[in-house]
C-alpha cells in the first residue's frame, strides 16, 4: 500500500496519534457514546436473529442468561443503561 496516494484525512493526527488517551475529553465521551449505542444495536440484532432461528422462548432464555453474565462483569447500572438504550433503539425501528 502506497502511503503517498492516501488522502491526508486518512492519516493519523500527529498530535494524538493512535492513542485515545491523548484525545480531548469531549471527543472521548463522544466515542464512548457511539460505542454504547452501537452495542445496543448489536444486541438487538443478535436477539432478533436468535428469535428467528430458535424461537422467541429460547431467545428470551438466552437473553436472560446473557444479562446475568453482563451484570457479573459490568454491574447492574451498566446493564440497566444497555437495556434502556436497546429499548430506545427498538422504539426507533
* Residue 1: predicted pLDDT: 47
**Residues of the chain predicted below pLDDT 70:** 1-18, 93
* Residue 9: predicted pLDDT: 55
* Residue 74: predicted pLDDT: 94
* Residue 15: predicted pLDDT: 59
* Residue 90: predicted pLDDT: 79
Q: CA-CA distance, 91 to 93, in Å (whole number)?
A: 5
* Residue 6: predicted pLDDT: 52
* Residue 21: predicted pLDDT: 78
Cβ atoms of 59 and 51 closer than 8 Å = yes
* Residue 92: predicted pLDDT: 77
pTM, entire model: 0.72
What sign has the CA pseudo-torsion 18, 21, 23, 29? positive
Orientation of helix 76-92 relative to helix 56-74, angle to 10° = 140
Domain residue extents for the chain: 55-93
Amino acid at each position: 500500500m502506497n502511503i503517498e496516494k492516501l488522502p491526508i484525512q486518512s492519516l493519523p493526527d500527529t498530535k494524538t496519534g493512535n492513542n485515545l488517551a491523548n484525545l480531548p475529553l469531549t471527543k472521548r465521551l463522544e466515542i464512548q457514546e457511539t460505542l454504547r449505542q452501537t452495542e445496543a444495536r448489536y444486541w438487538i440484532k443478535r436477539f432478533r436473529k436468535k428469535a428467528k432461528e430458535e424461537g422467541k422462548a429460547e431467545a428470551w432464555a438466552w437473553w436472560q442468561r446473557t444479562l446475568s453474565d453482563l451484570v457479573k462483569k459490568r454491574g447492574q447500572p451498566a446493564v440497566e443503561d444497555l437495556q434502556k438504550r436497546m429499548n430506545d433503539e427498538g422504539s426507533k425501528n
